[in-house]
Amino acid sequence: MKAYFKQFLSCSHSWGNVGTSIAKELKNMGHDIELCSTNGYDSFPEELLENVVCRNCTTPQNLSKNVCNINNEFDLSFAYTMMMHFPEYLKHGKNRFGCWNLDGTVIPSGYIKYHAGATKILPSSSFSLNVFKKNGLPEDKMFVIPHGYNENDLKNSKKYELKTDKKIKVLINIQQNHTRKNIKGILDVWGKTFTNIDDVILIAKVKNKVPSALFEVSWNVEFQKFKKKYKKHAPVIIIDEFISNIFDLYNACDIVFSMSNIECFLMPALEGLASNKLVIASGGDTCCGNVDFMNEKNSLLIKGKTVRAPSNYQYWKASVYGEMFEPDKEHASELLLNAVKNYDKLMYNFSDGIKHIKKKYTWNAVTKQILNLCE
């Protein structure tokens, strides 16, 4: 089979990680693949460089001029991208598979018509599929295809060096400082739950960057507020660097923690489970795609309620009907305390559930699901 990928493929972006992971699996299975990255080649997998066939589309200026030099026809065209790109990015395929997740509940009305550019739409969770369905996308062309984790990266991982003697290390892994990631809530719960006499430390894998959009926040600003509010807070290590194998960092930690308001999948939760870590995350099935693979048999889920999403929690065009999950801070604090005090017991109870997830959510298994949809 011949497959073509046109989308963000730089692995500094989560879409790029998904696209290159699937491309690598197809290549390892013996399929022919051709790649066109629309956001450059930062942290690009070396084994895929020989499959890059177009470098004309790496800038917004060139994208708008439609200068892609691909003229072949493919059995499969795949793109993890915003829906308005489906007609252009997928046009070379017999099977035109468009993957997108809104991380919201109301799709701007002008986007809907572009679903026609895909023969199948692949949301990554039941939550994401339900959002598409409620917004008018045809249910018969949608199939939930989850994200996965890289078995080889996990197998070849080492242990990231953390300069601390604290016993329990709690990791937050936030790729983008978007409001919906609830950085303020995470820091507030950390400050309320532990002090500097507790044998715990927060490892914050975040980006120190100035916000450039309404839906972004500054980690540094929120962290400074946190330090003023909680004078005796438990320590925090901030990591703002690219880690080539993220499992190195998981190996150095014990608990993976998230309090997101909206997630269509939540990769750090899956990666945490794959690394045999205790995962705590928001548990609302109305706005949390992670409940597809997180449950009482493998992790701890934070209770909460569904509320209206403020405009700065939404992308592009905000809607007064937008919704999000509001995790209960008291319950999140209780779960953190429970996780620290009863870590070994919880991990023993969750061991079978974690093994099941590790088998089901590899990139190899995910890629096979995509191939099974091809006609």
pLDDT in tens, 316-369: 889 999 999 999 999 999 999 999 999 999 999 999 999 999 999 999 999 999
Nearest to 124 by CA among 358, 372, 370: 370
pLDDT value for 222: 97
**Which pLDDT band, with edges at 50, 70 and 90, does 62 fall under?**
low
Contact of 313 with 102, CB cutoff 8 Å: no
Per DSSP, helices labelled H in the chain are 14-28, 60-65, 86-89, 126-134, 151-155, 183-193, 219-229, 247-251, 267-274, 329-341, 343-360, 363-372
pLDDT value for 28: 96
Q: Is the pLDDT of residue 70 over 80?
A: no
Instruction: Name the class of domain 2-149+362-372.
Output: alpha beta
Mean pLDDT to the nearest integer, 208-230 = 94
**Which pLDDT band, with edges at 50, 70 and 90, does 65 fall under?**
low
Q: Is the pLDDT of residue 64 over 80?
A: no
**Which pLDDT band, with edges at 50, 70 and 90, does 109 fall under?**
confident
Contact of 213 with 238, CB cutoff 8 Å: no
pLDDT value for 106: 94
Radius of gyration of the chain (CA): 21
Where exactly are the structural domains of the chain? 2-149+362-372, 152-360
What would the pLDDT profile of 134-153 be if each residue is shown by its tens digit? Answer: 999 999 999 999 999 999 99
Distance from C-alpha of 264 to C-alpha of 83, rounded to nearest angstrom: 16
- β-pairing, 304-308 with 323-327? antiparallel
From residue 45, give the alpha-carbon distance in Å to each of 20, 49, 285.
7, 7, 34
**Which pLDDT band, with edges at 50, 70 and 90, does 63 fall under?**
low
The two tokens of residue 130 are 């339900």
Mean pLDDT to the nearest integer, 115-121 = 96
Three-state SS for 19? helix
More confident residue, 281 or 38: 281
Backbone φ, ψ for residue 31 (5° rounding): -85, 155
Number of separate helices (H) and strands (E) present in the chain:
12, 14
Mean pLDDT to the nearest integer, 204-211 = 92
Lowest mean pLDDT, pick from 102-111, 183-192, 286-295, 361-370: 102-111
Three-state SS for 116? helix
Distance from C-alpha of 110 to C-alpha of 107, rounded to nearest angstrom: 8
Q: How many residues does the chain have?
A: 375
Distance from C-alpha of 95 to C-alpha of 84, rounded to nearest angstrom: 18
**Which pLDDT band, with edges at 50, 70 and 90, does 242 fall under?**
confident
Tally Cβ neighbours within 10 Å of residue 375: 8
Residues in Cβ contact with 231 at an 8 Å cutoff, skipping those fewer than 6 apart: none
pLDDT value for 60: 57
In Å, the largest CA–CA distance within the chain is: 64
pLDDT value for 345: 98
Contact of 46 with 78, CB cutoff 8 Å: no
Distance from C-alpha of 325 to C-alpha of 270, rounded to nearest angstrom: 19
Percent over 70 (pLDDT), the chain: 97
**Which pLDDT band, with edges at 50, 70 and 90, does 29 fall under?**
very high
Q: Is the pLDDT of residue 248 over 70?
A: yes
DSSP assignment of 258-273? ---S-BSS-HHHHHHH
Q: Is the pLDDT of residue 174 over 80?
A: yes
pLDDT value for 43: 82
C-alpha triplet 62, 242, 263: angle, nearest 5°: 75
pLDDT value for 317: 86
Residues in Cβ contact with 22 at an 8 Å cutoff, skipping those fewer than 6 apart: 5, 78, 363, 366, 367, 370
In CATH, 152-360 is 3.30.230.70: no
Tokens 């430390």 -> residue: 201
Backbone φ, ψ for residue 331 (5° rounding): -70, -40
Q: Is the pLDDT of residue 17 over 80?
A: yes
**Which pLDDT band, with edges at 50, 70 and 90, does 182 fall under?**
very high
Tokens 């295809």 -> residue: 145
Could you check whether 2-149+362-372 and 152-360 share the same CATH topology?
Answer: yes
Tokens 């949608």 -> residue: 142
Distance from C-alpha of 116 to C-alpha of 143, rounded to nearest angstrom: 15
Three-state SS for 203? strand
Mean pLDDT to the nearest integer, 74-94 = 94
**Average pLDDT score, the chain:** 94
Residues in Cβ contact with 265 at an 8 Å cutoff, skipping those fewer than 6 apart: 101, 124, 125, 128, 146, 147, 289, 290, 292
From residue 69, give the alpha-carbon distance in Å to each of 21, 53, 92.
24, 8, 12
